[in-house]
Chain A
Amino acid sequence: MIKQELLDVLACPKCKLPVRESKDEKYIVCDACRLLYEIREGIPVMLIDEAKQVEDTGGY
């Protein structure tokens, strides 16, 4: 689980809007861009080029 102190300020590097952690704690989710940023070994990988584009972030 990503610590709250980090989530408080974390944003999507593309749109700069706040993000959230996915229900399964595998991704940081940007609902606005519909991008999933993978969490690797407990560390969010906030790279636009490596983010996964999805149709709908509702399930995450």
Chain B
Amino acid sequence: MSFDSSAANYLNSSDHRTGSDLEFLAERFAEVRFGRMLDVACAAGHFANAVPADIKIVTDLSLNMLKKADEAFGLSLGAVSAAEFLPFQNDSFNFVGCRIAMHHFRNPCMFMGEVFRIMKQDGIFVLIDSVVDADDGHLNRIELLRDETHKKSHTVENIIAMAECERLEAKEAVILHKRHDFSEWANRLNPSTELFAEIEKAFFDLPAEYKQRYRVETENGRIKAYTDKKGLFIFQKP
């Protein structure tokens, strides 16, 4: 099953509908209301729904995801778009967000250049994505095994460097730990029985140090959960 045909799984996903990142943002922007916001690669629309804004525009590569975001949260201003070629005029948005998606992008630098272009001066860009340590190739390998559209989770330093190359100013970076129920996470894209077993084996085969790093939990000889890191970055267009 593809990302496009698994829209309902993403709407109900505990990884997407809840999370300390959304709580952090709600607190951080409690006193703010943005004029026009854009959620890039919005999936089922949880992030756009959580941001206070007068006009909310959403994009995704998947038409079905945009339909789901409209159905679930009334996000009716949607366009199918690639993150690297955003179909918007210069200086259009007060806020741009992108949550748990950049690891799928072919060219994150190009995406950030587009964010800079479409944001108004002083506009805020909030990026939330999986982050890895510099010496960690294991999680990227397992993510790719589970989802062939996975490209790369980056380090915090890489993400900030890419954004700064595109003239975005880093204002804040927070690391949050996110626990994933293994069965729900591994089944989200409806893998074959064989692929599910392969993903589970990849966790069992991790070196002890990485099992500890990902807080891998087992129960009755099965993987129960693991925990990864999400970086929450706030950038501004000077």
Contact = CB atoms under 8 A, between A and B. Distances in A.
Interface in A13-35: 13-14, 16-19
Central interface residue in A6, A9, A47, by most chain B CB within 10 Å: A9
B175 interface: no
Contact of A43 (B78, B86, B117): B78
A30 B57 CA distance: 20
B236 to A, nearest CB: 20
Given A9-B36, A9-B92, A41 B85 contact: no
B106 to A, nearest CB: 13
Nearest to A10: B87
B18 interface: no
Interface string B50-61: 000001010100
A16 B77 contact: no
B63 A40 contact: yes
Interface in B81-104: 81-82, 85-90, 92-93
Given A47-B81, A47-B82, A13 B63 contact: no
A45 B92 CA distance: 19
Contacts of B81: 13, 46-47
B67 A5 contact: no
A18 B90 CA distance: 10
Central interface residue in B36, B59, B78, B88, by most chain A CB within 10 Å: B88
Contact of A10 (B55, B66, B88, B93): B88
B86 A13 contact: yes
Given A3-B77, A6-B79, A10-B79, A43 B90 contact: no
Given A43-B63, A44-B80, A5 B55 contact: yes
Nearest to B84: A13
Nearest to A12: B87
A58 to B, nearest CB: 22
A48 B85 contact: yes
Given A9-B57, A47-B82, 9 more contacts: A6-B77, A10-B88, A13-B81, A16-B90, A17-B89, A43-B63, A43-B80, A45-B63, A46-B59
10 contacts: A3-B77, A5-B55, A10-B79, A11-B87, A11-B89, A13-B82, A13-B85, A13-B87, A46-B59, A47-B85
9 closest cross-chain pairs (CB), A and B? A46-B87, A13-B85, A9-B92, A13-B87, A45-B80, A11-B89, A6-B77, A46-B81, A44-B79
